[in-house]
Amino acid sequence: MVDTKVTLCGITLDNPVIPASGTFGYGYEFAELYDINCLGTFSFKGTTREPRFGNETPRIAECPSGMLNSVGLQNPGVEKVISEELPKLAKVFNKPVMANVSGFSIDDYVYTTELLAAQDQVGWLEINISCPNVHGGGMSFGTDPCMAADVVKAVRMTTDKPLIIKLSPNVTDIAGIAKACEEAGADGISLINTLMGMRISLRSRKPILANTTGGYSGPAVLPVSLRMVYQVYDAVSIPVVGMGGISTAEDVLEMMMAGATAVEVGAANLTEPFASKKIIEDLPRVMEKYGITSLADIVGQAH
């Protein structure tokens, strides 16, 4: 009998599989298809202080082995998430959920984190620092160790719940940024967010996305995400949540051997709604195939 349990920042998960933010809504839509309590947990849709319509359409472009998206953090705002979305989720999901927080200023992050952290349903706060700093010239918070640390320090003051900082891969030294987040008080690191990319229509001779560029995700990014998780695992002593290109149980094992305590599944949920469920169901078979009795034992084994 294999053991799929892992512990993420002090909270035990039945398995390490976590649908990634932006690919699983607020959960209850998927609960119409299957019992989502089979998941380790999930990270709900990126939530901001104010409601956001998102970017203009088209927002999605297909790519070989993946997709581009420029949805633009469309969400109803934190207060409606708390008053409307979380009560619906509570009817179908009885485990702690991961709240994904986005913002465009430190005040935004503090406001949204404080409100979400006060909700009993929320087990972890996943702080997405890939957002542009509107008070800092538009540069992403996550591209500079000092700016990343400033966000972590500020939100750390609002809650004792685990803070997992989600990093952008569009940097030259992701390990340095992860280390700065750890020193500022982060309890964990999640990576990678999407890679920047674009497509051009040969008919219109213009970018396909209305926003010109978007985030690239899908199976093709797995070697990049594995490399970055491997580097960050060596740089920090806090748990790492790995994501980027995960679509099979084998991918989960590979990511955990690179250093991930848990694994988020993103784009696969958009092309196959049952993707996360199927990965979880297949994990015991693949573990037995490779002689693995406990998933917790393989974290970082590739080092």
Coil, strand or helix: which one is 81?
helix
Provide the sign of the torsion angle of the four alpha carbons 115, 121, 126, 132, taken in this order. Answer: negative
Long-range contacts of 22-26 (CB under 8 A, 24+ apart): 22/46, 22/69, 22/71, 22/100, 22/266, 23/265, 23/266, 23/267, 23/268, 23/269, 23/270, 24/269, 24/276, 26/81, 26/85, 26/86, 26/88, 26/89
User: With contact defined as beta carbons under 8 Å apart, do 126 and 162 qualify?
Assistant: no
Angstrom distance (rounded) from CA 275 to CA 55: 27
So which residues are the catalytic ones? 131
How far is residue 140 CA from its own chain's centroid?
17
Coil, strand or helix: which one is 290?
coil
What secondary structure does DSSP assign to 23-77, as a single string? SSTTSHHHHTTS-GGGSS--BPPPB-SS-B--SPSP-EEEETTEEEE-----B--
